[in-house]
Amino acid sequence: MIDYQTDYLVIGSGIAGLMFALKASKHANITIITKRSIDESNSNYAQGGIATVMSSADSFDEHIKDTITCGGGLCHRDIVEKTIQRGPQAIRDLMNYGVQFTKSASNKDELDLGKEGGHSHRRIIHAGDITGHEVKKVLIDVVKNNPKINVFEYHIAIDLVTSKKLGFSTRNTVLGAYVLDIKNSKILTIRAKSTVLATGGAGKVYLYTTNPDIATGDGIAMAYRAGARIKNLEFVQFHPTCLYHPKAKSFLISEAVRGEGAVLRTSDGREFMKDYHPMGSLAPRDIVTQKIDLELKKSGEECVYLDITNKSKSFLKERFPNIFSKCLQYGIDMSCDLIPVVPAAHYFCGGVQSDWNGQTNIDRLYVCGEVSCTGLHGANRLASNSLLEALVFSSNAAESSKKYIENDYPENIEIPKWDAGSAKDSDETVVVTNNWDEIRRFMWHYVSIVRSSKRLERAKNRIELMQKEIHQYYWDFVITNDLIELRNIATLAELIISFALYRKESRGLHYTLDYPKKNDKVFCRDLVYENGKFIEGEKICE
């Protein structure tokens, strides 16, 4: 029995999901489900901006070069080239919807361009220091006024419905999803001609993260359970500068602050990044994060410091109004005080494998945004390429998936309603809380910035034991939002550990003490995981 039927089911309400919905609504009806309110997503917290070539002093070739250099040898050149060349059009699309980007102080007819780590030129289009929030605000308004788009807030997808799971031998096809209506504790069966995962990342797998509480890897976990290929999940980007303060939760100090001249210092005032990289504090994120971790281990200190006291208060309040205000709230005046910072889990460069159109290896299933692995980022994402990817690939997916909308519903298979069996309400929710906390702690200690085979094996043993407990709990008790998220972060943790153990080298965001060098002969290729085993990934290096 079907509770709801739609042309497109879009799971997630970040910039990728909203942009897809707007583009696809030109030829179909859209249903967006989001597990919190529509304005809550990772992209809502994106401070820096969108990396795009918009200056005559810059070029596509330079942006391509910076992206590939940062990607540690695993970027797919064809994807990088096409994505970057589409950047200016993506910005124009946003401006046509009504997004107001910050203009240059010297020429109000031109956009102000910021600079971030790894970039050779100023090319970050931004809206103050709350770019993601400003873009989302406009897109949400346009979506709400579009009669072809329905939004179901406080609805969380449990699992994708596929022809394979229902026992059909035809090519595996996504038919829709089972969805929990959180407020009414009711499970819906939604049928769709095409399903789009735009669920963002999984920072909450780690104890310390810049991500909001919703970032539990739901899309990657669901896609994997459905039979989708997962790629390069060992590459987890830790942002170097999360505000270190007992009352500050997950607040990011944008890389754009370093782009405007801030430097990293130890507690004794030493500008340590000059010792490690010619770009100093503006080195790529993997390098900066690893060196902060090294300095903290050497000194025993709990944080390092970001120093932008060379800029005036008026400049800082105008360029970084949100960051300046937030720091002041915690007693830190950026114009005269050093900002205490630590690394925190930030962005997943791996995810569900997709092609240029965002299509997965499962029919009628598309992915866009951080949930996907397109080949753009390689082993380490260049700052502010993430929103660019989300915009370009959501547009690609909207165009590519039209072929499914023109046909009838897939396979003409009857989807059974959710069967709760003998599941009962749990009186031991402490089990969920404790398991959630334990996963995040051992992932932080064993599978974060610096890894080793011994640490990874310990993590593998822990997650295998916990998976058995979580699996039993999942089937014994009535489904809740917390249980769905626990199941998903456990799946993500197990996948990340498997990838990290398999890649026996150090490259980009994956650094292991046992294999501290790159091994291009064996590992200059994607790692692809499907149905519990690794398959031969594409060779990148020539």
Q: Write down the domain spans for the chain.
A: 4-234+349-410, 239-345, 430-521
Residue (of 524, 534, 536, 450) closest to 73 by Cα position:
524
| Per CATH, domain 239-345 is 3.40.30.10 | no
Average pLDDT, the chain: 94
At residue 332, the pLDDT reads 97
Mean pLDDT in residue range 12-28: 97
| Per CATH, domain 430-521 is 1.20.58.100 | yes
At residue 414, the pLDDT reads 86
Mean pLDDT in residue range 96-112: 93
pLDDT band at 1 (very low <50, low <70, confident <90, very high): low
Residue (of 357, 413, 4) closest to 177 by Cα position:
4
Q: Which residue has the higher pLDDT, 91 or 429?
A: 91
Q: Is the pLDDT of residue 193 over 50?
A: yes
Q: What are phi and psi of 65, to 5 degrees?
A: -60, -45
Q: What are phi and psi of 315, to 5 degrees?
A: -65, -45
User: pLDDT tens, 286-299?
Assistant: 899 999 999 998 99
User: pLDDT tens, 334-354?
Assistant: 999 999 999 999 999 999 999
Mean pLDDT in residue range 52-57: 96
Mean pLDDT in residue range 218-242: 97
Please give the share of the chain, as a percent, with pLDDT higher than 90. 86
| Per CATH, domain 4-234+349-410 is 3.30.70.270 | no
Determine the Cα–Cα distance for residues 223 and 366; give it in Å rounded to an integer: 10
Choose the weakest-confidence range: 242-246, 283-287, 408-412, 433-437.
Answer: 408-412
Q: What are phi and psi of 381, to 5 degrees?
A: -75, 135
At residue 494, the pLDDT reads 98
* Of 285, 381, 455, 462, catalytic: 285
User: pLDDT tens, 481-505?
Assistant: 999 999 999 999 999 999 999 999 9
Mean pLDDT in residue range 13-24: 98
pLDDT band at 431 (very low <50, low <70, confident <90, very high): confident
Q: Is the pLDDT of residue 38 over 90?
A: yes
Mean pLDDT in residue range 398-420: 88
User: Model-level pTM?
Assistant: 0.95
Q: What are phi and psi of 465, to 5 degrees?
A: -65, -45
At residue 55, the pLDDT reads 94
Tokens of 493: 């943790």
User: pLDDT tens, 274-327?
Assistant: 999 999 999 988 899 999 999 998 999 999 999 999 999 999 999 999 999 999
CB atoms within 10 A of CB 391: 28
Tokens of 146: 């579009």
Catalytic: 285? yes
Buried b (16+ CB within 10 A) or exposed e, 269-280: eeebbeeeeebb
At residue 542, the pLDDT reads 46
Q: Are 509 and 237 a contacting pair, CB within 8 Å?
A: yes
Mean pLDDT in residue range 60-73: 97
